[in-house]
Amino acid sequence: MKTVDDLIAGYRRFRAGVYAEQAQLYRELGEGQDPDVMLIACADSRAEPSDIFNAAPGQMFVVRNVANLVPPYKPDGGLHGVSAGLEFAVNVLKVRHIVVMGHGGCGGVTASLTESKSALIGEFVAPWVKLLDAARARVMDSGSLNPQFALELEGIETSLENLMSFPWVAEAVAAGKLELHGAWFAIKHGELHWRNPASRRFEIVAP
């Protein structure tokens, strides 16, 4: 997709193909949505959640941002896009699962690691990736030989921890109405790694 004409041509292929095959589903979705899963993913164009999970329209409520980050609960009247999406998913849609999915080669993670020396840092990216400061410190203190990969995983842990700072998320989890999950996708190899909640290790999902 390089031009607007490419986008329009893609829409026409969608109408003739996917939409035509699932017209009834789209008519039903026009009346409302009822997904069981919220997916918090990176905005990176290479890691498309619907493709990775082979999800149909209406199956996942997706929020994407730089480095798939969830900020801590902060009801200060400010503009909080991720928190607003989370509130809607948990309190209105009543999703049963929240998955935080990172990916390989994340530019937001690279920006955190390189800090002010990175061309990726700008007036909005810099304060956003500061959410990774504590995780970055843990990675650097660990002496990891691959800090990029290590911080991609630690960033998922940070977002999972921050999710539990939202009182209504914590209440739903405690009541057994909501489960939190972590995942990491290797773009180059098409591999999905799923977080084991007991060991907190990410294990490759068999294809």
Of 197, 166, 25, the residue nearest 99 (C-alpha): 197
3-state DSSP call for residue 62?
A: strand
Residue 85 CA to residue 69 CA, distance in Å, equals 13
Given a contact cutoff of 8 angstroms between Cβ atoms, the answer to whether 164 and 170 are in contact is yes
Cβ-based neighbour number of residue 70 at 10 Å = 27
Q: Which of 12, 15, 27, 44 is catalytic?
A: 44
64 is annotated as an active-site residue: no
Of 46, 80, 77, the residue nearest 63 (C-alpha): 80
80 is annotated as an active-site residue: no
103 is annotated as an active-site residue: yes
Q: Which of 46, 133, 200, 201 is catalytic?
A: 46
51 is annotated as an active-site residue: no
DSSP element (H, E) containing 152: helix 147-163
Q: Which of 12, 106, 138, 141 is catalytic?
A: 106
Of 56, 134, 62, 47, the residue nearest 97 (C-alpha): 62
15 is annotated as an active-site residue: no
The residue type of 21 is E
Catalytic residue positions, numbered: 42, 44, 46, 103, 106
